[in-house]
Amino acid sequence: MSKEIEKKWQEKWKESKLFQSDHDERKKIFLTVAYPYPSGAMHIGHGRTYTVPDVYARFKRMQGYNVLFPMGWHVTGAPVIGIASRIKDKDPWTLDLYENVHNVPKNEISKLEDPEYIVKYFSTEYHNVMDDMGYSIDWRREFRTTDPTYKKFIEWQIKKLKKMDLIRKGNHPVKYCPHCDNPVGDHDLLEGEGVGVNELTLLKFKIIEKNDNDTNKDNGDNINTANNVKYLVPATFRPETIYGSTNLWLNPNVEYIQVTSDDSENGTNGETWVISKESFDNISNQIKDLKILGDIDPETLIGAHIENPVTKDHHPILPASFVDPEYGSGSVFSVPGHAPADYIALEDLKNNKELIEKYSLKDIVNKIEPLNVVTIKKYSEIPAKDVIERLNVKNQEDPKLEEATNELYKVEHSKGIISKHIPIYSGERVSIARENIKKDMISKNQATIMYDFAEHPVICRCGTKCVVKIMDNQWFLKYSDEEWKDETRKLLRNENIIPAEVRSNLEYYIGWLEDWACSRRIGLGTKLPWDKQWLIEPLTDSTIYMSYYTIAKYLKDINSEDLNDAFFEKIFFDNDINIDTIDKTQLNSIGANIDDFRLKVDEDIINEIQNEFSYWYPLDWRLSAKDLVGNHLSFHMFHHAAIFPPENWPQGMVVFGMGLLEGNKMSSSKGNVILLSDAINEYGADVVRLFLMSSAEPWQDFDWREKEVVGTKRRLDWFFEFAEKIESIKMNKNKSSLDLSNIERVDLTRKIDLWMMNQLYIRINDATTALEGFQTRKALQDSLFLLKKDVDHYMYRTKHLLEDPDEALIFVLSSILESWIRILSPFTPHSCEELWAKYGGEGFVSEAEWPIKYQYFPMKCTPTLNLKVDSCIPSEVIEKSEEMVQSIVKDINEIKKIVDVTPEKIHVYLAPDWKWMLYRIADDVGKPDIGQIMGRAIGENIHDNKKEIAEVAKKVGREMTKTRYIGKIDEYEVLSDALDFISEEVGSEVIIHKDNSYDPQNKARNAMPYKPALFME
Ligand SMILES: [Zn+2]
């Protein structure tokens, strides 16, 4: 398929406005797929994402639905800002990515220094490639999320949510690059993609002088002076273990510093903290005005004591190499009873004579015993010891240590109870006590909150280590609001979810989601109407944009200033706002003025837009990728639940898997991608489409393998050859070419013709069912691969006719081609239009009816989904008949091989009526109960010879477990019909006997229903 031909059809579709959908009387389908964030070129992974909805849209159009498949560009957010500045800085990695992976021409590269140009460049590129793929998009509704009209739509939404009290103010930790001075998303990272931010409790341990009762202070620095109390501040996930603390770990090989700040809200409160130098960047982004007072040598601290902030016990400071200076504040408090790492580190230290001597720790270390805090069934008082011993962890470096830690963390969190001897919290579940202890310590200034990455390092593209920064006065969507969650759950209950297992993920996320920071300082986007220093972040401005598609084509002619709250309220809810009833005190808090509630658009236009919206809404299907379930897809449900009434809630969701390239994860930033435009140039859009749709179901991960793509191309070539072959058969017969719009009907009598039409019907039926559930792969299995197998079989069975075809053969072959072009057209639309036009199809095949409705099946009745209609030849009888023909040929050839002679004649004997009756009785009985079958057979008097009945009943009993009884088949008719074929296949004369008048070797008695007996001579 040449690119010119594909282009030709794309032009023709465009000229005929084939995919422009307006509201009318027909039933509608409205589907959307996640609109792309175009900051790079489209690759084959995107190809799959956007081909699935196109296939479905095309399929539904052929079924007679009015289908709307729109597209827009999600260009808000910060990533392009970073890209633009890196291009400006001539960052070699970024330049290489854009020149060589995204294929941006050299003369365009410098223009990408402007973020607006990046989104313009790539959304144009996306649009063009989508056209090249043949997507049936209604481009009149195209928009970018930075369009002034879209911004008005976003302003209206956010004001509405604020008014509903679903937005609040607060502080918020974000991933941040200190060098770029900007929050970073996964897009912006060189390392640490997807790493989460953990909330830790930072506990304040007061450092007391070395050797409390020692008056000789020579060997210790002047650690504390009266007005300068120092603290070590280890951070933990498990503040409740403070009761089991026995010592504190410092790493003698790490640089430590002393810091302080005056931040009273969340900080040191004027205290001096000792932290590792490497943790300063992170902590100083969370505590205001953190100042470095100077270095401190850890050697001077080891052997000294600290005071437990809660129990007030004194614990020694001990050396440990496992302490990571980057994590938390670079120190760890030790809970050997419940933390396997602490337990083993203590054991290691006890055995390390060198360290013990160096710091004179002998007496101190020997005194330390693990303490119990938490009680768990089946564990001893010291659970850390149990786990260490069971898993046979040898030392701190043992990789099994992590498993031990994880196991104990999980068990204690879910099943642990605070032990009896612990004050206040005894008897509480660990998960509850943990929160209570944390709150209590914070209120007493014994602890504070800090944030850290779950894993290190997290590195910005600029090469700088990222930190967690607290952003002040941030705005939050209140996803933790229980009422809002309940409405969203209600929405989910009424939505179709494909694949079904995603439903529980969505349920989980609805429950799990906390308040979401919905504003950012930097990026492209819409400003918060009531606090204009903030931009609305890109997950928040893409929640109900599907409703915008329904009206987008009208908005282009309206002044964006007129798209105010009154407009959207009227369009979406038919709300007429009475200015007099507006609470004017509220206006300020949502950033509105009274004019926003005066309708400024003409009523005629309003009516038309309203009609369009109410025709297309609710959304029928939302398609998206599985990595967006926890954000985009959940938010989409939350916001629909808040803003729209239940009758306009989304109806269905399909969630996609990911793309692999030759077995590896696709990634633009790692250069492991094939651009969609390159793939189209190499193979043509239809081959790309066919491969993407046939290699996996949408929710499975697919793997682009070049060898298989080439194989797909051969399939499509074969289809063209098949069409040509039929054309030549037709020409051969009656000197006229194929005319698919005028296939001459023939009443079929030959069994094999009926069989072929029946198979065609089954394949179409199965493919239809599969497509209804978005199973593109299964649909192609049925409609391409299995159907091709059937056609191959048919052509083989009729090979003796191909030289001199009859009308029936031509009818069957033309019918196959005619339906086949229709069923494949959603998948390979260009090829199908070309074949359709070439062989006389009427109009566009894209507009033709889906074949299941377009009936010409030759059965005695119109087939329906349930083929067992009285007057029909049941489908399974047709199938069974052909199966019999095939097994006779197979049986004869096998016997011939064994006896190694070519018989002159082969006699075929058929089962007499009474054996069929016996089979029917056995089927009635439903199990191989010979006694019962015999009894009924004798009762019905089906045969005189009881001995024979008994013999055959046994056989039937065995047979019925393998072969289902489907009624009596006229075997004589079936086999006579195929006699030429059978004779040719076995190379002998075949005689079918109606009775046993010629049966020299008494073989006829072996004949069973569906299994004739054979005699060769
Ligand atoms: Zn940076």
Band of residue 64 on the pLDDT scale cut at 50, 70, 90? very high
The number of folded domains in the chain is 5
Distance 86 CA to ligand 1 centre (A): 9
**CA 539 – CA 38 distance, rounded (Å):** 15
- Give the model's confidence band at 804: pLDDT under 50 very low, under 70 low, under 90 confident, else very high: confident
Whether residue 591 contacts residue 159, with contact meaning beta carbons closer than 8 Å, is answered with yes
Q: Check whether 377 has a pLDDT greater than 60.
A: yes
CA 277–ligand 1 middle distance (angstroms)? 20
* Ligand 1 centroid distance, CA of 73 (Å): 26
> Is pLDDT above 60 for 863?
no
Distance of alpha carbon 594 from alpha carbon 589, whole angstroms: 13
Q: What does DSSP assign to residue 1011?
A: B
3-state SS assignment for residue 497: strand
Q: In angstroms, what is the span from residue 460 Cα to ligand 1's centroid?
A: 5
CA 236 to chain centre: 34
Are 203 and 175 in a shared domain? Answer: no
Dihedral angle computed from the Cα positions of residues 714, 720, 723 and 725, in that order, rounded to the nearest 10 degrees: -70
Range 420-435 average pLDDT = 92
For ligand 1, the distance from its centroid to the CA atom of residue 975, given in whole angstroms, is 79
| Host H or E run for residue 230 | strand 230-232
d(CA 432, CA 420): 16
CATH of the domain at 738: 1.10.730.10
Looking at mean pLDDT, say which of 258-267, 756-765, 856-865 comes out highest.
Answer: 756-765
CA of 112 to the centre of ligand 1 (A): 18
- Residues above pLDDT 70, as percent of the chain: 95
Residue 265: per-residue pLDDT: 65
How would you write 878-889 as a 3-class SS string? HHHHHHHHHHHH
Distance 461 CA to ligand 1 centre (A): 6
818 and 899 part of one domain: no
Residue pair 645/569 in contact by the 8 Å Cβ criterion: no
Strand partners, 232: 205, 274
Q: Find the DSSP H helices in 455-558.
A: 482-493, 502-512, 545-555
- Establish if 700 belongs to a structural domain: no
Check residues 979 and 746 and name the one with the higher pLDDT: 979
**Gap from CA of 96 to ligand 1 centroid (Å):** 18
**Is there a domain that residue 488 lies in?**
no
Distance 716 CA to ligand 1 centre (A): 48
Output the CA 187–ligand 1 centroid distance in Å.
12
* Alpha carbons 864 and 150: distance in angstroms, whole number: 47
CATH number at residue 137: 3.40.50.620
pLDDT range class, residue 269, cuts 50, 70, 90: confident
Give the Å distance between the CA of 186 and the centre of ligand 1.
12
Let me know whether 886 and 865 are in one domain.
Answer: no
- Sign of the dihedral defined by the CA atoms of residues 739, 745, 748, 754, in that order: positive
Are residues 630 and 521 located together in one domain of the fold? yes
For residue 459, report the distance from its CA to the centre of ligand 1, in Å.
8
Gap from CA of 465 to ligand 1 centroid (Å) = 8
CA 184 to centroid of ligand 1, rounded, Å: 8
**How far is ligand 1, taken at its centre, from the CA of residue 279, in Å?**
18
The pLDDT value recorded for residue 860 is 42
Q: Return d(Cα 162, Cα 909) in angstroms, integer.
A: 85
pLDDT of 193: 84
Ligand 1 centroid to 496 CA: how many Å?
A: 42
Q: How many CB atoms lie within 10 A of CB 512?
A: 12
Q: Is the pLDDT of residue 464 over 60?
A: yes
Query: 686 lies in a domain?
Result: no
633 within a domain of the structure (yes/no): yes
73 has a pLDDT exceeding 80: yes
Amino acid sitting at position 751: K
- Angle of helix 676-683 relative to helix 44-62, nearest 10 degrees, comes to 70
Domain around 656: 3-164+498-679
pLDDT in tens, 159-168: 999 999 999 9
Query: Do 637 and 600 fall within a single domain?
Result: yes
Strand (E) or helix (H) holding 795:
helix 787-797
What is the model's pLDDT at position 218? 39
- pLDDT (mean) for 949-976: 88
Ligand 1 center–CA 80 separation, angstroms: 13
* Residue 631 CA, ligand 1 centroid: distance in Å: 25
Q: Which residues pair with 259 in a beta bridge?
A: 273, 292
Is residue 626 a part of any domain in this protein?
yes
Whole-number Å distance between alpha carbons of 781 and 775 = 10
489 is a domain residue = no
Residue 558 lies in a domain: yes
One domain, residues 448 and 459: no
Ligand 1 centre from 622 Cα, in Å?
35
In the numeric block, which tokens belong to residue 268? Answer: 């040191």
Query: What is the C-alpha to C-alpha distance for residues 553 and 605, in angstroms, rounded to an integer?
Result: 12
pLDDT of the residue at 872: 52
φ/ψ of 26, rounded to 5, equals: -70, 165
Give 746 Cα–ligand 1 centroid separation in angstroms. 74
pLDDT exceeds cutoff 70 at 834? yes
For ligand 1, the distance from its centroid to the CA atom of residue 170, given in whole angstroms, is 25
The β-bridge relationship of strands 66-68 and 167-177 is unpaired
529 alpha carbon – ligand 1 mean position (Å): 29
Tokens of 102: 């995204």
Average the pLDDT over 773-786 and give the result. 96
Neighbours of 63 (CB within 10 A): 17
Tell me phi and psi for residue 177, to 5 degrees. -105, 115
Residue 855 pLDDT exceeds 60: no
Cβ 203 vs Cβ 234: under 8 Å: yes
Amino acid at 796: Y
Q: Which helix (H) or strand (E) holds 567?
A: helix 565-573
> Which amino acid, 690?
L
Give the burial class of 707: count Cβ atoms within 10 A of its Cβ; 0-12 exposed, 13-18 middle, 19 or more buried: exposed
**How many angstroms is it from 42 CA to the middle of ligand 1?**
25
Task: Please give the distance, rounded to the nearest whole angstrom, from the Cα atom of residue 471 to the centre of ligand 1.
Answer: 17
Average pLDDT, the chain: 90
- pLDDT for position 357: 92
CA of 124 to the centre of ligand 1 (A): 28
Residues 6+ apart with CB under 8 A from 583: none
Give per-residue pLDDT as tens, 532-548: 989 999 999 999 999 99
CB atoms within 10 A of CB 22: 14
Q: 620: part of which helix (H) or strand (E)?
A: none
Give the pLDDT confidence of 865-896 residue by residue, as tens digits. Answer: 333 333 456 677 888 889 999 999 999 999 88
Count Cβ atoms within 10 A of the Cβ of residue 115 and give its class: 0-12 exposed, 13-18 middle, 19 or more buried.
buried
Between 302-311, 351-360, 749-758, the lowest mean confidence (pLDDT) is in 749-758
Position 136 pLDDT exceeds 50: yes
Percent of the chain with pLDDT over 90: 68
What's the CA-to-centroid distance between 180 and ligand 1, angstroms? 4
CA of 89 to the centre of ligand 1 (A): 12
Ligand 1 centroid–CA 898 distance in Å is 79
pLDDT of 222 > 70? The answer is no
Q: Are 74 and 538 in contact (CB under 8 A)?
A: yes
CA of 464 to the centre of ligand 1 (A): 5
Q: Are the beta carbons of 345 and 322 closer than 8 angstroms?
A: yes
Closest alpha carbon to 969 in 900, 923, 910, 886: 910
Pairing of strands 182-183, 447-453: unpaired
Same-domain status, 160 and 243: no
Q: Is 39 exposed, middle or buried (0-12, 13-18, 19+ CB in 10 A)?
A: buried
* Domain shared by 899 and 888, yes or no: yes
455 CA to centre of ligand 1 in angstroms: 18
CA of 562 to the centre of ligand 1 (A): 40
Distance 463 CA to ligand 1 centre (A): 6
Residue 54: its H or E element = helix 44-62
The token duo for 369 is: 């015993």
| Same domain membership, residue 886 and residue 791 | no
- The better pLDDT of the pair 531, 870 is held by 531
> Where among 846, 873, 900 does a domain terminate?
873
Spatial strand order of the sheet with 516-517 comes to 182-183, 167-177, 467-477, 516-517
d(CA 181, ligand 1 centre) in Å? 7
CATH number, position 305: 3.90.740.10
| Confidence bin at 864 (pLDDT 50/70/90) | very low
Domain co-membership, 720 together with 760: yes
Taking alpha carbons only, the member of 453, 706, 458, 572 closest to residue 157 is 572
Dist CA 646 CA 643 (whole Å): 10
Asked if 412 and 471 sit in the same domain, the reply is: no
Distance CA 582, CA 304 (A): 67
How many Å lie between the centroid of ligand 1 and the Cα of residue 189? 8
Tokens of 222: 């002047």
DSSP letters spanning 411-453:
HHHHH-EE-TTSTTTTTSBHHHHHHHHHHHHHHTTSEEEEEEE
DSSP class of 852: T
365 and 468 within one domain = no
Q: What is the Å distance from ligand 1's center to 121 Cα?
A: 24
Q: How far is the CA of 670 from the centre of ligand 1 (A)?
A: 18
DSSP string of 462-475, one letter each residue = TSPBPEEEEEEEEE
CA of 178 to the centre of ligand 1 (A): 7
656 Cα–ligand 1 center, Å: 32
Using CA atoms, how far apart are residues 830 and 719, in angstroms rounded to an integer? 13
- Cα angle 660, 496, 498 (rounded to 5 degrees) comes to 20
d(CA 341, CA 404): 9
- In tens, the pLDDT along 888-939 reads 999 999 988 888 878 889 999 999 999 999 999 999 998 888 899 999 999 9
Q: How many whole angstroms from 275 Cα to the centroid of ligand 1?
A: 24
Q: Residues 63, 78: contact at Cβ < 8 Å?
A: no
Q: In this structure, are residues 716 and 706 in contact, taking their beta carbons and an 8 Å threshold?
A: no
Task: Give the pLDDT score at 877.
Answer: 81
CA of 93 from ligand 1 middle (Å) equals 13
- Would you say how long the chain is, in residues? 1017
**Is 490 domain-assigned?**
no
213 pLDDT above the threshold of 70: no
- How many angstroms does the Cα of residue 468 sit away from the middle of ligand 1? 13
pLDDT for position 153 = 98
Task: For the beta carbon of residue 275, count every other beta carbon within 10 angstroms.
Answer: 28
Q: Which helix (H) or strand (E) holds 544?
A: none
**Distance, CA 870 to ligand 1 centroid (Å)?**
74
The answer for 662, left when phi > 0, alpha when psi is -120 to 50, beta otherwise, is left
Distance CA 311, CA 572 (A): 61
* Whether pLDDT at 995 is above 70: yes
